[in-house]
Structure 1
Amino acid sequence: MRILLAEDDADFAEALIDALVRQGLAVDWTRTLAATEEAIQQASYRLLLLDRQFPDGDGASIVPRVRAVQGDLPILILTAMHQVAHKVEGLDAGADDYLAKPFDMAELMARVRALSRRPARATPTMTLGNLTFDFESKQVYVRGEELKLPRRQVLVLEALCFRQGRTVRRHALEQAVYGLTEHVESNALESHISRLRRALVEAGVEIHTMRGIGYVLKEVSPEE
């Protein structure tokens, strides 16, 4: 299960990530609200662990915007703001749960398990040209036939399909494919996209390079 941790305290975040990973969870980590919103737009998560206090604002302020992208993503606020009024603010903003620091790790894990047991939303498929992408199973179909792709190429395609017709910035695409902590070779993304382009020649779609910005997935025009 992949979750997103939004926390600007590096020492606390690293300790928490270590505990979560020991529970078999995959964790992406963001340190600002801007990075958190970008991650939410580029990847699908089963849970968001969200601090309240960031250099660029109050974590509760982005809850409605997170809901606009991933409507029923469970959100657990973790914060040192422990007064009842603070909890009311966070829950009224749309968070599902609120846990004040310091907390017992066993209690956090119990809450994580409880929130993650909620049924995942029925994720639709996307069809463009002759391409169909199933976001739930991450299966790819061209003209109704399943197209087997390596995992990294599937993740590239998923991010592009999620925002089809809109530019996905290079950095955001790397985060979607590699997570936020993996080392990325300078030409690795281009290599995956090059191979993916060759695999999609019959799909009726093209991956356009927006030089200096990122990539966009578009249907091939009839005249092309």
Structure 2
Amino acid sequence: MRILIVEDDPVLRGVMQRSLADAGHRVDVAASVAEAHHFWCVQPFDAVLLDLNLPLDEADEGAGGAQLGSGLAVLRAARARGDRTPVLVLTARDRTHERIAGLDAGADDYLGKPYDLAEVEARLRALVRRSRGTQDRTAAGALVLDRHVRRFTLHGLPLDLPAREFEVLWELMTPPGRVVNKRTLSEKLSDFDETLGDNALEAFISRLRKKLAGSGAGIRTLRGLGYMLEAQAAPPADGMP
């Protein structure tokens, strides 16, 4: 998953970033209202971790932060422009009014501080599953993805993949049969300072097709639309029509 962390506390932000990155996710961080608003507008994310209490500094005010005001306003602005990215709000445990305000503004879930990092990741997985209508375990032919342990298996054996190929296949399996726009896929796999070009993306797709050969799962290119991973009918047995 590609995740945006919006948190002004550098210690908490760093701990969450390392934990989610170590779990295999691509993580971007924003420490202010202006950064959060900018990142969320220009980059698609699978989920957002949002602290509601963000300070306003001079940079925020110069970038429209005075109008945004807080993490809550960043959330409201995203929902107002039709962005339905799942949002997990982080709040102090004793601030019930913050939790209510966050949910009313369009948050999907909340978690009180202090929190367990394993629970953060579990809640993010649940939010993304809910938003896409998927389960922890998904299959296409002999290819199986277990999101809970972040593992692919093929014919019952672990399928070890380089990081970028893993991310491409993860996106195509969430869920299978969904058309994934080439640009969206490229953006989710890119960094702000490094863009994944079409040639590199097509190379990943080509290598994955070879690894999935004979598995009953295939990646189809839909010209002008993108890619789709789907279960394929097994070839007829020898001697059968």
- Scaled by the length of structure 1, what TM-score is found? 0.62
Note the alpha carbon deviations across 1:168-203, whole angstroms, 9 max, x for none: 11222224334x425124211111111011010022
3-state SS of paired residue (2:145):
strand
CA contact (8 A) 1:156 1:176 kept: no
Query: What do residues 30-67 of structure 1 show as CA deviations (whole Å, max 9, x unaligned)?
Result: 6376767x522xxxx6x61263335983559989872x
Write the letter of the residue equivalent to 1:39.
F
Alignment of 1:71-220 (within 5 A): 74-76=88-90, 88-92=100-104, 93=106, 94-96=108-110, 111=113, 114=115, 116-118=117-119, 120=122, 124-178=136-190, 180-186=191-197, 187-220=199-232
Q: Which has the larger radius of gyration?
A: 2
CA contact (8 A) 1:132 1:140 kept: yes
- How far 1:2 sits from its partner (Å)? 7.3
Q: Among residues 25, 47, 72, which one is paired with 1:52 in the alignment?
A: 72
Percent identity at matched positions?
27
Structure number with the bigger relative contact order (C-alpha 8 A, sep ≥ 6) is: 1
- On the 8 A contact 1:63/1:95 being kept in 2, the answer is no
Please say if residues 205 and 218 of structure 1, whose CA atoms lie closer than 8 Å, have aligned partners that are also in contact.
yes
Q: What is the count of residue pairs matched by the alignment?
A: 186
- How far is the alpha carbon of 1:137 from its aligned partner? 2.3
Cα pair 1:127 1:133 within 8 Å, conserved: yes
Give 1:133's aligned amino acid. L
SS at match of 1:167: coil
- Could you tell me which amino acid in structure 1 is paired with residue 13 of structure 2? L
Do the aligned partners of 2:189 and 2:196 also contact (CA within 8 Å) in 1?
Answer: no
Q: Do 1:131 and 1:140's aligned partners in 2 also have CA atoms closer than 8 Å?
A: yes
Verify the 8 A CA contact 1:208 1:215 in the aligned structure 2: yes
Structure 2 residues without counterparts, runs of 5 or longer? 22-26, 30-35, 52-70, 127-134, 237-241
Deviations 1:5-35 (A, max 9, x none): 36xxxxxx8x778983477354325637676
Q: Is the 2:138–2:144 contact (alpha carbons within 8 Å) kept by the matching residues of 1? A: yes
Counterparts of 2:235 and 2:50, CA distance in 1: 48
Letter in 2 for 1:48: L
Query: Residues 151 and 87 from structure 1, CA distance in 2 versus in 1: closer, same or farther, beyond 3 angstroms?
Result: closer
Cα–Cα, structure 1 residues 208 and 134, in superposed 2: closer, same or farther, change >3 Å? same
3-state SS of the aligned residue for 2:194? coil
What does residue 69 of structure 1 align with?
A: none
TM-score by length of 2: 0.58
Q: Is the contact made by 1:208 and 1:218 (CA closer than 8 Å) also made in structure 2?
A: yes
| Aligned residue identity for 1:57 | A
What is the RMSD of the two structures over their aligned residues, measured on CA atoms? 4.2
